[in-house]
Amino acid sequence: MSLKLHKLKDFFKNANGRVACSGLFMGLGQLMYKQIAKGIVYIIFQIAAILFFVFFGAKGIAGFITLGTVKGNAWYNIKGDNSVIMLLRGLLSLIVLIFYFIIYIANLKDVYKTQTRVAEGKAPISFLQEIKNLFDKNFYRTALFLPVVGVCVINILPIMFMILIAFTNYGGNIIPPELVDWVGLASFKKLVTLKQFAPTFFKILLWNMIWAIVSTALNYFGGLGIALLYNKKCVKGKAFWRVFPILAYAVPGFITLLAFKFMFGYGGPINQLITGAGGKAIGFLDLDAKWIARGLGFGVNAWLCIPTSMLLATGILGNMNEDLYEAAKIDGAGPFRQFVSLTLPFVLFATMPVLITQFIGNFNNFGIFYFLRDGLTIDGYFLASDTDLLINWLYNLSINNNFYSIGAAISIVIFLITSVLSLIVYTLSPSYKQEDAFK
């Protein structure tokens, strides 16, 4: 840090007038050093930035702060402000502003470098050389440009937007043309105190934790178990037996989910068999089927996810050192002991990052109960059912019922839980510390 500060001090002490010119207007300094092409490129950027902020950006950022001042009224033919669109445009302008600053600083660095080179008696780097560098020394910049821009617009911008929404009163009756306002932490307060939301929130949170832990463990050990079973020496035709789990892996998830819903429905084949045998039809996914439905969820999720963990475990087991087992056998370790002391630590070490991903995936497993018990709401829950996870509740609240700011607050809670958990595990895991170990 101090090195950076030192460099900055040097920069302000040594920079000459030409650098200052570039500081005032990008590209001027480069022109003075007779770097015509590069100068023109920077000047074009500068002009584009000015035009953008005069016609769009300044208004965007102002709207970001006020969220609109004029309320629309069709009766008097007043075209009001749309607060939500203003927020979005404001964010877009801010992102452009950040990009502008990055280019601006690159411009200063560039002309300062030229100044030092000239002072040392060397020729400035030519434009052609600069372009060549983009395909060689600085190839990472060229390569990452498109992905970064895409992720900024498609991922970062929407996420920022929703984070900000959590601090507004957007939702319920307050949707455009009504004006939205900044309200600070009010949505979070509502979530944990208001009678409408709080009981549902805590009930769902508890179930969500149970679900994530149990289903991750179930899928992980299920997959490992099957992989070990198929790896046994006495099994002939391993490739053939693996076809069945891969089949399950290849069928698109929503198809299986809907198929299971049909299968366990009232008119479905399982109930037909039960009634055919003289029994009474069971509402597996009914209103009062709390634990039956939850259990079914675990089963269906296992059916969907075990093939992936099985394939993963098979791949990892293939890398294991066979000699260790021979040594263990000579020392008198039984199959169980071999599993606990050899197989498990090895597989756990290798799959730690995947395990985290699977945990988060299960924590936010939207599809399972969305398909199995679509749209069900239950007494004691506000717009949710007893199998719904936070993510399902979030969907019901914000997409189906306009509770946008509450929904956004829930997503931030989900984010905090999952990110804290996984950052701890991730930074502790050996695979993070030894990233460069096998280069």
Partner 1 sequence: MIKSIVKKRIKRIKSSYIVNSTFTYLGILIISFIFLFPVLWLVLASFSKSGSIYSFNGFFPSKYSLNSFKTLFTDTNMYNYPKWFLNTLFIAVVSSLLGTFLVILTAYTMSRFRFPSRKKLVKATLVLGMFPSFMSMIAVYLLMTQFDLIDKPIGLALIYSAGAPMGYLTQKGFFDTISGSIEDAARIDGATNFMVFIKIVLPMSKPIIVYTLLTQFAWPWSDFILPKLLLKDKDLYTVAVGLMTLGDDEFARFAAGSVFIAVPIIILYFSLAKFIIKGIASGAVKE
Residues 46-105, interacting with partner 1 (CB under 8 A)? 84-85, 88-89
DSSP 8-state class, residue 53: I
Q: Where are the alpha helices (DSSP H) in 183-341?
A: 186-193, 198-231, 238-250, 253-264, 269-276, 290-318, 322-330, 335-338
281 binds partner 1 (CB under 8 A): no
Binder to partner 1 among 282, 287, 324, 354 (CB under 8 A)? 354
CA atoms within 13 A on the CB side of 214: 12
204 binds partner 1 (CB under 8 A): no
Tell me the closest approach of the beta carbon of residue 413 to partner 1, in angstroms: 10
Residue 351's contacts (CB-CB under 8 Å, 6 or more residues apart) are 220, 312, 313, 316
- Applying the rule CB under 8 A, the residues between 285 and 304 that interact with partner 1 are 303
Whether residue 177 has a cis bond before it, omega within 30° of 0: yes
278 binds partner 1 (CB under 8 A): no
Sign of the CA dihedral 286, 292, 294, 297? negative
221 binds partner 1 (CB under 8 A): no
Binder to partner 1 among 101, 182, 202, 241 (CB under 8 A)? 241
Instruction: Please tell me whether residue 174 adopts helix, strand or coil conformation.
Output: strand
315 binds partner 1 (CB under 8 A): yes
Tell me the closest approach of the beta carbon of residue 414 to partner 1, in angstroms: 5
Binder to partner 1 among 1, 77, 136, 334 (CB under 8 A)? 136
199 or 345, CB closer to partner 1? 345
* Region of 17-25, 188-196, 322-330, 404-412 interacting with partner 1 (CB under 8 A): 404-412
Instruction: Please tell me whether residue 398 adopts helix, strand or coil conformation.
Output: helix
**d(Cα 226, Cα 235) in Å, to the nearest integer?**
12
Residues near partner 1 (CB under 8 A), total: 100
Instruction: Please tell me whether residue 399 adopts helix, strand or coil conformation.
Output: helix
20 or 213, CB closer to partner 1? 213
Binder to partner 1 among 72, 366, 401, 425 (CB under 8 A)? 366
230 binds partner 1 (CB under 8 A): yes
In Å, how far are 29, 36, 118 from 128, measured between CA atoms?
Answer: 18, 12, 18
**d(Cα 267, Cα 280) in Å, to the nearest integer?**
12
Bridge partners of 182, per DSSP, are: 168
**d(Cα 191, Cα 416) in Å, to the nearest integer?**
15
**Which tokens is 296 given?**
């079914």
119 or 151, CB closer to partner 1? 151
* Region of 19-27, 183-191, 353-361, 376-384 interacting with partner 1 (CB under 8 A): 353-361
267 or 278, CB closer to partner 1? 267
Buried b (16+ CB within 10 A) or exposed e, 11-45: eeeebeebbebbbeebbbbbbbbebeebbebbbeb
Specify whether the CB–CB gap between 226 and 249 falls below 8 A. no
Binder to partner 1 among 119, 247, 424, 428 (CB under 8 A)? 247
Token look-up 């953008």 returns: 52
41 or 409, CB closer to partner 1? 409
279 binds partner 1 (CB under 8 A): no
425 binds partner 1 (CB under 8 A): no
Q: In 3D, which of 228, 357, 371 has the Cα closest to residue 293? A: 371
Tell me the closest approach of the beta carbon of residue 109 to partner 1, in angstroms: 12
312 binds partner 1 (CB under 8 A): yes
227 binds partner 1 (CB under 8 A): no
186 or 263, CB closer to partner 1? 263
Tell me the closest approach of the beta carbon of residue 248 to partner 1, in angstroms: 4
Tell me the closest approach of the beta carbon of residue 379 to partner 1, in angstroms: 26
Tell me the closest approach of the beta carbon of residue 16 to partner 1, in angstroms: 26
